[in-house]
């Protein structure tokens, strides 16, 4: 059965729901999340999207992405999806959000209010092959150069997050992730505001 996603306005207030494929065909704004997992050495876990994905197949991106289900809290959805895609469980903290609308492959459009979460794990992922073709831990400082050299190997939202928040911003997220308690996340996540201009 096709997934139903939550439609939102520019402030992330719910406005309705629709089927996932229709949303991406029509470029309707919907609620989403992106997760960035760091290890104790400060490396970022990237995944290469599975070839069976309906868009952006085979491209490298952040650790995990997804959408909350109807009635599901965004933090709960992020924890669920991280385990479903990468076999990982760790505390997650919301650090920012990003509203963007971009053309992706297969004539589809991503128009997301994207909640950005960070966490840390020194556990090797067990990737679901239906979701991820491969994964890699990369030093954060290496990523902007790799994106600049071969932008077409990376998803549009991953590139947009690095453009918007910059390496300085992601280093600050890394510090937040490393400082987070190792117990289960309780209460509402705190939001980290963008540094600089």
On whether 150 is known to bind a ligand per the annotation, the reply is no
Model pLDDT, residue 188: 36
- Structure tokens given for 101: 């609308």
Can you give the pTM of this predicted structure? Answer: 0.89
CB 92 within 8 A of CB 117: yes
Domain boundaries, the chain: 4-179
112 carries an active-site annotation: yes
Residue with tokens 């491209």: 59
CB 145 within 8 A of CB 175: no
On whether 130 is known to bind a ligand per the annotation, the reply is no
For residue 174, which of 33, 34, 41 has the smallest C-alpha distance?
Answer: 41
Regions of the chain short of the pLDDT cut 50: 183-197
Of the CA atoms within 13 Å of residue 34, those in its CB half-sphere come to 24
On whether 24 is known to bind a ligand per the annotation, the reply is yes
On whether 30 is known to bind a ligand per the annotation, the reply is yes
Q: Which of 3, 10, 90, 112 is catalytic?
A: 112
3 carries an active-site annotation: no
Fold of the CATH domain 4-179: Nucleoside Triphosphate Pyrophosphohydrolase (3.90.79)
Give pLDDT tens digits for 62-81.
Answer: 999 999 999 999 999 999 99
Q: Which of 65, 84, 90, 102 is catalytic?
A: 65
Model pLDDT, residue 105: 76
List Cα–Cα distances, 21 to 41, 107, 146, 183, in angstroms.
38, 11, 31, 37
């Amino acid at each position: 059965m096709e997934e139903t996603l939550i439609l939102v306005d520019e402030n992330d207030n719910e406005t309705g729901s629709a089927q996932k494929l229709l949303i991406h065909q029509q470029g309707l704004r919907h609620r989403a999340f992106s997760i960035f997992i760091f290890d104790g050495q400060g490396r970022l876990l990237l995944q290469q999207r599975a070839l069976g994905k309906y868009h952006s197949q085979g491209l490298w991106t952040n650790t995990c992405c997804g959408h909350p289900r109807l009635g599901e809290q965004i933090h709960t959805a992020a924890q669920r999806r991280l385990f479903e895609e990468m076999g990982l469980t760790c505390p997650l903290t919301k650090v920012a959000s990003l509203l963007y609308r971009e053309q992706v492959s297969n004539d589809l459009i991503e128009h997301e209010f994207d909640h950005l979460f960070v966490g840390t794990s020194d556990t090797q992922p067990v990737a679901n092959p239906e979701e991820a073709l491969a994964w890699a831990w990369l030093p954060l400082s290496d990523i902007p150069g790799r994106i600049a050299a071969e932008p077409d190997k990376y998803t549009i939202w991953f590139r947009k997050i690095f453009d918007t928040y910059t390496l300085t911003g992601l280093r600050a997220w890394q510090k937040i992730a490393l400082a987070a308690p190792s117990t289960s996340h309780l209460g509402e996540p705190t939001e980290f505001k963008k540094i600089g201009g």
